[in-house]
Amino acid sequence: MTISLKTRSRETAMRYSRRIEAALKVFHLERPEDTWSQLVVPLRNLAESLLWELVQSDDRVALSLEYSELLEDLQAIQGGSPMTVDRVKAINTGVRIVKAAQERLHKGDPTPLSTIIEELQGQEDTVVPEAPVVDPECVTLSRLGAEYLEEQQDSLAPASVRDMKSAIKTLAEALTVDGSEINLKTHTRQDMVRLKANLMEGRKPLTVNKLLTRLGTLLSWAENNGYIEKSFNKGLKIAKGAESGRKAFTEAQTRDLMKAMGELPVTSWKRWAMSLGAITGARIGEIYQLNKEDVRKVGNEWVIDLNTNHGKTLKNKHSERVVPLVDGAYGFDLQGFLEYVNGVEGDKLFDRVAHNFTRVLNETLRDVLQHDSGEGLTYHSLRHTLAGVMKQQGIQVSTVQAILGHSSQTITFDLYGGDARLAVGKLADALRESLMV
């Protein structure tokens, strides 16, 4: 692909060329022949990453300049490179995404990004993937990905399927040499090192590590099922600069937060939405989707039932679980919460707009604990906090996983003779021990 750079300075031209090349990678526009069906998932992933990105206060000026340069680069690509109808649509969507990211950065309004994500998800669901031509002697990443998703489709949540499809496309492109994907049956360590280098061009370390995690999942599955003899992807992840930025609260901070929540009226939705995060470690999306019927009693324990009933979605199949509600944990008032549940009109416990629900809770955290948005402390930090507390108390790993919904090693009721009460009782005891109730 060639683009007119409109400059006689070689140094300026080379610098600008590198910028354009990076912009093409950011928006997955390297190939002019790609169709909208091939571009919609990466664009949605880009918008989601910008929505979830934790922006440090010191980085705001630099990020603002970066967004402005991206808009300039997209304009240059549109004016000087081969165009198709789908490519124009993708570039225009890219412009909307960057402008929406600017709205979030300068005005603190995530709504434009959220709207674009919902639009792209709707269009993504209508895309029918083309059936790949498979050479039985060649095991490519695209082939592995298609067969993995076919086998795992009943156990993966729709969001996980979308993320894996996007990762497969990106990884397959990075493993393409001279127009053809390499054969993983004969791949070498050098192939994996080259893959990592390709992924690092124009991407942040955290994003690269997420892609390498997806690669590890696919190659382990391929090795276990006889598609390849050995994988060479171990030890590729980036250590420096790949931290997620999410931290845990100290015990004092958690107690201060729960004390402030306990001073709110029993009818306050903020009080209970925040408290549930602190004492169960549930994700903010899981708390937001709770219905009245999801608060129930198992044996002697009150629990929240995190499920996919009535159209609710979870991160993956391991996220379906029940988590006991420990009365008195950080001052949690179980009876007051049950009164709130009984008094809610309608089915949803928290009948709020999703982005407003998230924004208000995170703003409340900052107000109560007097910290800035760039310090890495968010509602999700409550989950990290509970995980850390249970680890410090020496709680069995499988029990921690059962509470947080992390892994297939989650406790099952079958381990306790099919009696759900015994399993829930074990989880409740672990939480009481950890939260010192």
Question: Which helix (DSSP H) or strand (DSSP E) does residue 297 occupy?
Answer: strand 295-298
Q: For the chain, what are the domain ranges?
A: 1-128, 133-244, 251-434
Q: What is the pLDDT of residue 372?
A: 63
Amino acid at 113: L
Higher per-residue pLDDT: 2 or 381? 381
* Residue 5: both structure tokens together: 């750079």
Q: Is 301 helix (H, G, I), strand (E, B) or coil?
A: strand
Of the two residues 137 and 74, the one the predictor is more confident about is: 74
- How far apart CA 61 and CA 106 sit, in angstroms, is 10
The candidate with the shortest Cα–Cα distance to 246, out of 214, 273, 283, 216, is: 283
**Quick one: three-class SS letters along 193-206?**
HHHHHHHHCCCCHH
| H helix intervals, 265-332 | 269-280, 284-288
| DSSP string for 111-147 | HHHHHHHHHHHHHHTT--PPPPP--TT---HHHHHHH
Tokens of 346: 């309608």
Give the global pTM. Answer: 0.53
Tens digit of pLDDT for each residue in 214-243? 999 999 999 999 999 999 998 888 876 545
Res 42 pLDDT > 80? yes
DSSP state of 393: T
* Model pLDDT, residue 187: 92
Q: Does 282 have pLDDT greater than 90?
A: yes
Instruction: For residue 316, give the nearest of 406, 239, 391 by alpha carbon.
Output: 406
d(CA 252, CA 69): 43
Q: Between residues 341 and 358, which one has the greater pLDDT?
A: 341
Mean pLDDT of 43-66: 73
End-to-end CA separation in angstroms for the chain: 65
Whether the predicted pLDDT of 67 surpasses 50: yes
pLDDT of residue 331: 95
Above 50 in pLDDT, residue 413? no
pLDDT band at 410 (very low <50, low <70, confident <90, very high): very low
Look at residue 418 in the predicted model and tell me its pLDDT.
44
Which pLDDT score, from 0 to 100, does residue 332 have? 96
247-262 pLDDT, tens digit per residue, is 788 889 999 999 999 9
SS3 151: helix
Given the structure tokens 């990592």, which residue do they identify? 196
- Compute the distance between CA of residue 114 and CA of residue 97 in angstroms, rounded to an integer: 10
Bigger pLDDT: 181 or 418?
Answer: 181
Contact call for residues 159 and 313 (beta carbons, < 8 A): yes
Q: How far apart are CA 240 and CA 84, in angstroms?
A: 40
Q: Which CATH class is domain 133-244?
A: mainly alpha
Continuous segment of H or E residues that includes residue 296: strand 295-298
Burial class (CB in 10 A: 0-12, 13-18, 19+), 263: exposed
Collapsed DSSP state (helix, strand, coil) of residue 348:
strand
> What is the rounded radius of gyration, in angstroms, for the C-alpha atoms of the chain?
24
Tokens of 276: 């549930």
Q: What is the pLDDT of residue 422?
A: 63
Which whole number is the average pLDDT over 282-311? 93
What DSSP state is assigned to residue 5?
Answer: -
Q: Do 369 and 278 form a contact (C-beta atoms < 8 A)? A: no
205 falls in which pLDDT band (50, 70, 90)? confident
pLDDT of residue 414: 37
Q: Please identify which residue in the block is written with the tokens 């790993």.
A: 397
What tokens were used for 399?
């029990």
The 3-class SS string of 56-87 reads CHHHHHHHHHHHHHHHHHHHHHHHHCCCCHHH
Of 245 and 122, the structure prediction assigns the larger pLDDT to 122
Query: Domain 251-434 class?
Result: mainly alpha
Q: For residues 335-345, give the mean pLDDT.
A: 96
